[in-house]
Structure 1
């Protein structure tokens, strides 16, 4: 009898060990559960975007009743903050304490850099982060095998953005619409994202024969821009280009630029990520350029209506809609992974990510914003092109962003 009891204890212990070590999870009722950590910066400078990512993700999973195959989906909201160390600790807790088997979403490049190490440490696939800075791709390229748990970055590197702006102004100079010296002042927030775009603006405009007469960065959240603008104005730059993610900072930059009489062509990339950009900036935004995300069909308008009803404020096509698209992409991948393997856990999701997503075998073509998301071997960022990921450039005219570049998509001419 004692021998039988010992055997039962051993079997029970082994069962507990296997259930703890296995990729799968189950509820108290025995139902299969997939636990997904949703990275949202709910505190700090990205709090509004973080809320957008959390709610948009919930909306997408509500549409499938939190169910994929015979798995119930449990979302674990992770406040990644705007601090890389705190963000990494928050994700680690979601994995170790809450049992997250896979992670998704994210906004800041700096946070993505730190959570990339957490994903590698615990061998947890991290899907479709939106961190856009070049530094994220560069880190991934230092050890593609180690960082292979980071799968399918949703936003390309900033070189394509810089080249778009360069091409716009090159065409304006060539046609005589823009005259004077080919000079540019490059500014931005002192973040990985700010430097990523700034560095590429310097690179591609310099290669095209422009003189960079100013190139400085300021702390995120800065609202007193007068000293910065005085330097830019004294530089005599014909073009002023950079990015500001903090809405209050972007509004301060543009309003104070008008106050001091800056007459340069202004690129304020990321301005329209905040749906309230016009309420914040008013006429100070007139003539400003930014990339202009848009919808590919009527589902975009349907999403905006649902968002307004749910949240009580308008969705931004560059934030809330992007977050929803990321969630749709994640759901489609998980559904296809389940169809292929019949199992959803860290191991099968990682395998599908490496062998199907990152090789280009798998394409997400049900986006509300892009013709398709697809990736290719040796690159973390998605393929760019008018048949893949592509955003045209817009300019604020009469209080609204309108598409002005490239010519194939322009609805009106830019005003220089």
Structure 2
């Protein structure tokens, strides 16, 4: 063999590995194999080193308790979304009997009440008095901005909050070490999604399928970090392609009367009336009242479909409205949604319940990886895996109900990766309670139809 060494079993040899979630598993030689070769898209079959399938293991006895906070609007103007959060989280943890390794997971429900001050007070109380060691989810952007300070102060990692405002990104960038405890946004900054509305309308103008009298727009929204982030983003994006923004209109999150505002808008007659409100009573009231006064503008009502009963709230007034939400695209997702409705008596939305279920399962995966790596679940060990693997793009979640792949990396943090195959929302137009994709054009189920 000179000058080479002797190779082979018992001498110099490298086993063949197949990688999953940053870990190499031996697939050859068979007597060493930890799992069988798994073609892309299939689940690997775990083996013992002798090459035989592992026998079923006795469940591990729960000897310790891990307290996990769940932050959401469980009362107040957006409580209906909180109901979806609660059902989704319960469903995910019931599937594992509320147990991760030797830890019994005790959920602590932290009610934001859709109010930043009340949310931060409840959040700190959950950490200090109830012993929460990590937390997941949340809905409002303004709540995130307040609670980031509390998570950093107590060094408690918070995973997958929904609050999307770019203020979260700016806060993180101001001190990445301090604010690294806010571990990844479920929802990317509004500008990464709002641009699709502008692109959709520009596409249909260029195709000759819509010819507005003038390229004018009025921007509206709830007076919160979320509403102003979305409004500011879509305002800039319209202006960048030559549209004139006639005004911006913001209102309290719990407002439900808009006749004065809508009559002023009608007098200006913009081609587009674009905005968002996360509270179902607010956005559904605006949509209904816009129809009542005969508003002819194209109405972009981002977030209308964020609760399952949106059509019950608006009826035919939602016809021709544009929105962005994902769909129950697979048979498994549709079954999950049907089972959810049967159990809880409410229609789950993909945006709230569906994504909450996925992100809860992502946390469960991360917790299992933490236990595998460190042998314990704690604020410190979860934070370490979040930093070293989640934010490095090594720990991802695939096979969820809503998006094909949830991923973060050094280029996107604290936002997720956005794009086809990752986090993405198509632009829909509603008719008879059904959203039809109109953009991107390659996904379109129908063409954009202006209101007659």
Settle same-fold status: TM greater than 0.5. Answer: yes
What are structure 1's unaligned runs of at least 5 residues?
1-28
Instruction: Give 1:106's aligned residue.
Output: 138
Aligned alpha-carbon RMSD (Å) = 1.5
Instruction: Give 1:18's aligned residue.
Output: none
Say which SS state the counterpart of residue 380 (structure 2) adopts: helix
Instruction: Give 1:192's aligned residue.
Output: 225
Map 1:161-310 to 2 at 5 A: 161-179=193-211, 180-310=213-343
- Given that 2:269 and 2:296 are in contact with CA atoms closer than 8 Å, whether structure 1 keeps it comes out as no
Map 1:100-179 to 2 at 5 A: 100-179=132-211
Aligned length: 388
Q: Greater relative contact order: 1 or 2 (C-alpha under 8 angstroms, separation 6 or more)? A: 1
CA–CA distance in 1 between the matches of 2:122 and 2:433? Answer: 40
Question: Is 213-222 or 194-203 further displaced after alignment?
Answer: 213-222
- Given that 1:296 and 1:370 are in contact with CA atoms closer than 8 Å, whether structure 2 keeps it comes out as no
CA–CA distance in 2 between the matches of 1:272 and 1:212? Answer: 25
Instruction: Give 2:6's aligned residue.
Output: none
The structure with the greater share of residues assigned to helix is 1
Instruction: Give 1:382's aligned residue.
Output: 416
Instruction: Give 1:44's aligned residue.
Output: 76
Matched, 1:70 2:99: no
CA–CA distance in 1 between the matches of 2:287 and 2:130? Answer: 44
Instruction: Give 2:385's aligned residue.
Output: 352
Instruction: State the TM-score, normalized to the length of structure 2.
Output: 0.83
Instruction: Please tell me whether Structure 1 or Structure 2 has the larger radius of gyration of its CA atoms.
Output: 2
- Given that 1:140 and 1:147 are in contact with CA atoms closer than 8 Å, whether structure 2 keeps it comes out as yes
Matched, 1:415 2:423: no
Report the alpha carbon displacement of residue 233 of structure 1 after superposing the two structures with TM: 1.5
Report the alpha carbon displacement of residue 30 of structure 1 after superposing the two structures with TM: 8.4
Map 1:365-404 to 2 at 5 A: 365-377=398-410, 379-404=413-438
- Given that 1:295 and 1:370 are in contact with CA atoms closer than 8 Å, whether structure 2 keeps it comes out as no
Residues 346, 414 of structure 1: CA spacing in aligned structure 2 closer, same or farther, 3 A cutoff? same
CA–CA distance in 2 between the matches of 1:50 and 1:399? Answer: 23
Matched, 1:60 2:97: no
CA–CA distance in 2 between the matches of 1:174 and 1:292? Answer: 25
Report the alpha carbon displacement of residue 399 of structure 1 after superposing the two structures with TM: 3.1
Give 4+ residue runs of structure 1 displaced > 3 Å after superposition: none
Question: Is 219-228 or 114-123 further displaced after alignment?
Answer: 219-228
CA–CA distance in 2 between the matches of 1:246 and 1:121? Answer: 30
Report the alpha carbon displacement of residue 366 of structure 1 after superposing the two structures with TM: 2.8
Report the alpha carbon displacement of residue 284 of structure 1 after superposing the two structures with TM: 0.8
Say which SS state the counterpart of residue 135 (structure 2) adopts: strand
CA–CA distance in 2 between the matches of 1:253 and 1:194? Answer: 14
**Deviation string, structure 1 residues 345-383 (Cα, Å, up to 9, x no partner):** 111100000111112121111321111111122520101
Report the alpha carbon displacement of residue 218 of structure 1 after superposing the two structures with TM: 0.9
Instruction: Give 2:344's aligned residue.
Output: 311
Instruction: Give 2:57's aligned residue.
Output: none
**Deviation string, structure 1 residues 279-338 (Cα, Å, up to 9, x no partner):** 111111100000021234322112112212221122122222222122111111111221
Say which SS state the counterpart of residue 194 (structure 2) adopts: helix
Matched, 1:328 2:374: no
Instruction: Give 1:12's aligned residue.
Output: none
Question: Is 69-78 or 197-206 further displaced after alignment?
Answer: 69-78
CA–CA distance in 2 between the matches of 1:70 and 1:257? Answer: 55
